[in-house]
Amino acid sequence: MTQGAPSRGRGRSSRLAELQLSMVASGPVLEAGSVDPFAVPGTGRRQPSAALLVPGMRATVNAWRAAGYPGLSDTTRRLFNYWFEEDHPLRDGGSFRYYFAQRETIETFVYCYEVAAARTLRGLLERDEDQIKCSYDRYGNLEAYRRADMGPVDFLPYDANTDRFAHYVCKLATGGGKTKVMALAIAWSYFHRLYESGSTLARNFVVIAPNLIVFERLREDFGSGRIFLKDPVVPPEWAADFDLQVVLQDEAAPPTATGMLYLTNIHRLYEEKPGSPPNPVEALLPPPVRRDLRAGSAEELIDTVARRDDLIIINDEAHHVHDEKLAWSKVILGVNERLQARGLPGIVAQLDFSATPKYNDGVLFEHIVCDYSLADAIAAGIVKQPLLGELSDPREVPSDDASVRYRQWIDAGVARLADYEALHKAAGKQPVLFVMAGDTDEADQIARYLESLEGFKDRVLTIHTNRSGQISEATGGKNKELLEELRRASREVDSDANPYRAIVSVLMLREGWDVRNVTVIVGLRPFSAKSEILPEQTIGRGLRLMYGAGSGAQEQVDVLGTEAFENFVKGLKQTDNVTLKSRKIDAPLEGRTIAVLPSRVAAYDLSIPQLSNLLRRSEEAIGQIDVERLGARLTLGDELPDDTQRYTLSDVLTKRIMSEMELTLPLPESSQGILWYYAQSVRRDAHVPQALFDKLVGLVKRYLTGVVFGMPVDLDDPRVWLRLMQDDAREAVVRPFVSAINQVVREEVTVELREEARPVSQTRAFVWSKDVCEGAKTVFNLVPVDSALESELVRFMDGADDVTAYAKNTKKLGLTIDYQSSKGHFRLYEPDFVVRLTNGDHWLVETKGLEDLEVARKDARARIWCRDASELTAVGPIPQKWQYSKVMEMTFYSHRGKTFDGLVRHADAARS
Q: Tell whether 606 and 650 lie within a shared domain.
A: no
Question: What pLDDT, on the 0 to 100 scale, is given for residue 364?
Answer: 83
CA distances 31 to 21, 37, 136, 521, 541, Å, are 21, 13, 27, 22, 22
Last residue in a domain, options 748, 767, 797: 748
Based on the fold, state whether residues 843 and 724 are members of the same structural domain: no
* Whether residues 183 and 255 fall in one domain: yes
> Same structural domain for residues 790 and 891?
yes
Q: What is the DSSP string of 743-785?
A: HHHEEE----EEEEEEEGGGPPPEEE-S-EE--SSSSBSSEE-
**In this structure, how many other beta carbons lie within 10 angstroms of the beta carbon of residue 119?**
19
How many CB atoms lie under 10 A from the CB of residue 665?
11
pLDDT of res. 535: 64
Q: What's the CA dihedral at 790, 794, 800, 805 to 10 degrees?
A: 120
Cα separation, 236 vs 232, whole angstroms: 9
Following DSSP, what letter does each residue of 265-324 receive, concatenated? EGGGGB---TTSPPPTTGGGSPPPBPSS--TTSHHHHHHHHHTSS--EEEESSTTHHHHT
Instruction: Based on the fold, state whether residues 788 and 653 are members of the same structural domain.
Output: no
CATH number, domain containing residue 584: 3.40.50.300
Q: Is there a single domain that holds both residue 629 and residue 742?
A: yes
Helices (H) and strands (E) counted in the chain, each on its own, are 30, 32
Q: Give the DSSP letter string of 37-67.
A: SSSPP-TT-S----SSSHHHHHHHHHHHHHT
Check if the beta carbon of residue 793 is closer than 8 Å to that of residue 450: no
Please, which residues bridge with residue 845 across strands?
833, 885
Selection from 687, 668, 688, 666 nearest residue 677 by Cα: 668
Of 354, 374, 398, which residue is a domain's last? 354
Q: Under a CB-based contact definition with an 8 Å cutoff, are residues 167 and 88 in contact?
A: no
Exposed, middle or buried, 505 (CB in 10 Å: 0-12/13-18/19+)? buried
d(CA 258, CA 908): 58
Say what the pLDDT of residue 416 is. Answer: 95
Q: Is residue 243 part of a domain?
A: yes
> What is the extent of the structural domain holding 303?
175-271+282-354
Contact 331, 286 (CB under 8 A): no
Over the stretch 127-159, which tens digit does the pLDDT of each residue have? 766 666 555 544 444 444 344 344 555 555 567
Q: In angstroms, rounded to a whole number, what is the distance separating the alpha carbons of residues 410 and 423?
A: 20
pLDDT of residue 293: 34
Give the helix/strand (H/E) hosting 885. Answer: strand 882-888
Q: How many CB atoms lie within 10 A of CB 321?
A: 24
Residue 332 within any structural domain of the chain:
yes
Per-residue confidence (pLDDT) for residue 320, from 0 to 100: 52
Domain total for the chain?
4
Asked if residue 180 lies in contact with residue 249, where contact means CB atoms within 8 angstroms, the answer is: no
> Which alpha helices (H) appear in 366-518, and where do they start and end?
374-380, 402-405, 407-424, 440-452, 477-493
Helices in 344-406 by DSSP H: which ranges? 374-380, 402-405
Helix (H) or strand (E) holding 581: strand 581-584
Would you call 133 exposed, middle or buried from its count of C-beta atoms within 10 A (0-12, 13-18, 19+)?
A: middle
Phi/psi at 864 (nearest 5 deg)? -65, -40
pLDDT value of position 520 = 95
Residue at 24: amino acid letter: V
Instruction: Calculate the alpha carbon distances from 518 to 383, 525, 544 in Å.
Output: 12, 18, 8
Q: Are 338 and 344 in contact (CB under 8 A)?
A: no
Q: What residues are paired with 246 via a beta bridge?
A: 261
Cα separation of 487 and 216, whole Å? 8
111 in a domain, yes or no? Answer: no
Q: Quick one: 321 and 199 in the same domain?
A: yes
| CB 528 within 8 Å of CB 411 | no
DSSP 740: H
Backbone φ, ψ for residue 193 (5° rounding)? -65, -35
Is residue 557 within 8 Å of 519, Cβ to Cβ?
A: yes
What is the DSSP-derived secondary structure letter of residue 596?
B
Closest C-alpha to 819, from 832, 836, 831, 810: 831
414 and 296, same domain (yes or no):
no
Answer yes or no: is 34 within a domain.
no
CATH number of the domain at 852, please.
Answer: 3.40.1350
Pairing mode, strands 518-523 and 204-209: unpaired
d(CA 108, CA 65): 10
Distance CA 95, CA 221 (A): 20
Residues 570 and 662 both lie in one domain: no
CB 270 within 8 A of CB 290: yes
User: What pLDDT does 243 receive?
Assistant: 92
Helix (H, G, I), strand (E, B) or coil at 840: coil
d(C-alpha 497, C-alpha 886), whole Å: 42
- Same-domain pairing of 724 and 760: no
Last residue of one domain, picked from the residues 337, 354, 371? 354
Q: Let me know whether 392 and 436 are in one domain.
A: yes
Cα 523 from Cα 770, distance rounded (Å): 30
- The answer to whether the CB of 185 falls within 8 A of the CB of 106 is yes
Report if residue 170 sits inside a domain: no
* Distances 324 to 273, 681, 788 between C-alpha atoms, Å: 18, 48, 55
Q: Is residue 71 part of a domain?
A: no
**Long-range contacts, 190-199 (Cβ 8 Å, 24+):** 190/242, 190/244, 190/259, 191/75, 191/79, 191/238, 191/241, 191/242, 192/73, 192/75, 192/76, 192/114, 193/310, 194/241, 194/258, 195/74, 195/75, 195/690, 196/73, 196/74, 196/75
Rounded CA-CA distance 24/48 in Å is 6
CA separation (Å) from 733 to 628, 693, 701, 822?
Answer: 13, 17, 11, 18
CATH (domain of 327) = 3.40.50
**CA pair distance 395, 408, nearest whole angstrom:** 7
The stretches in the chain having pLDDT less than 70 are: 1-26, 91-93, 128-158, 250, 252-256, 268-307, 318-328, 465-487, 490-491, 507-514, 526-535, 638-670, 690
**396 assigned to some structural domain:** yes
Biggest alpha carbon distance in the chain? Answer: 100
- Whole-prediction pTM value? 0.78
CA distances from 365 to 5, 157, 357, 549 (A): 12, 11, 6, 29
Residues 191 and 313 in one domain: yes
Residue 265 in domain? yes
846-893 pLDDT per residue, tens: 998 777 778 999 999 999 999 999 999 998 888 999 999 999 999 999
